[in-house]
């Protein structure tokens, strides 16, 4: 598909959307655990996307540290 003034990658996305009604990459991102957890965190009053992302990163790091701690499994 060729769209004047639009690059080939964007044109491919437009074509995919017109053919299927959705974009595969968007569904992958929205269906990811990260996206779901961040969305859940943003439901806390006063928590926006930046804070939710920060919380996700902090929780992930904390879990990784706990799993690597030799005393965690005792």
Q: Enumerate the domain spans of the chain.
A: 1-30, 33-74
Least confident segment among 26-30, 32-36, 51-55: 26-30
Given this model, what pLDDT does residue 13 score? 87
Measure Cα distances from 58 to 2, 44, 54, 74 in Å: 44, 16, 6, 24
Share of the chain above pLDDT 90, in %: 24
Please indicate, yes or no, whether the overall pTM of this predicted structure exceeds 0.85: no
Given this model, what pLDDT does residue 66 score? 78
Q: Judge whether 9 counts as a catalytic residue.
A: no
Whether residue 59 has pLDDT greater than 60: yes
Contacts of 53 (CB under 8 A, 6+ apart): 38
Whether residue 8 has pLDDT greater than 90: no
- Name the active-site residue from 13, 25, 43, 70: 13
Whether residue 68 has pLDDT greater than 90: no
């Amino acid at each position: 598909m060729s769209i004047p003034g639009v690059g080939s990658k964007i044109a491919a996305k437009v074509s995919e959307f017109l053919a299927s009604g959705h974009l595969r990459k968007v569904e992958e991102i929205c269906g990811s655990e990260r996206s779901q957890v961040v969305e859940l965190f943003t439901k806390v009053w006063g928590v926006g996307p930046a804070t939710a992302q920060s919380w996700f990163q902090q929780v992930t790091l904390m879990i990784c540290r706990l799993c690597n701690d030799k005393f965690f499994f005792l």
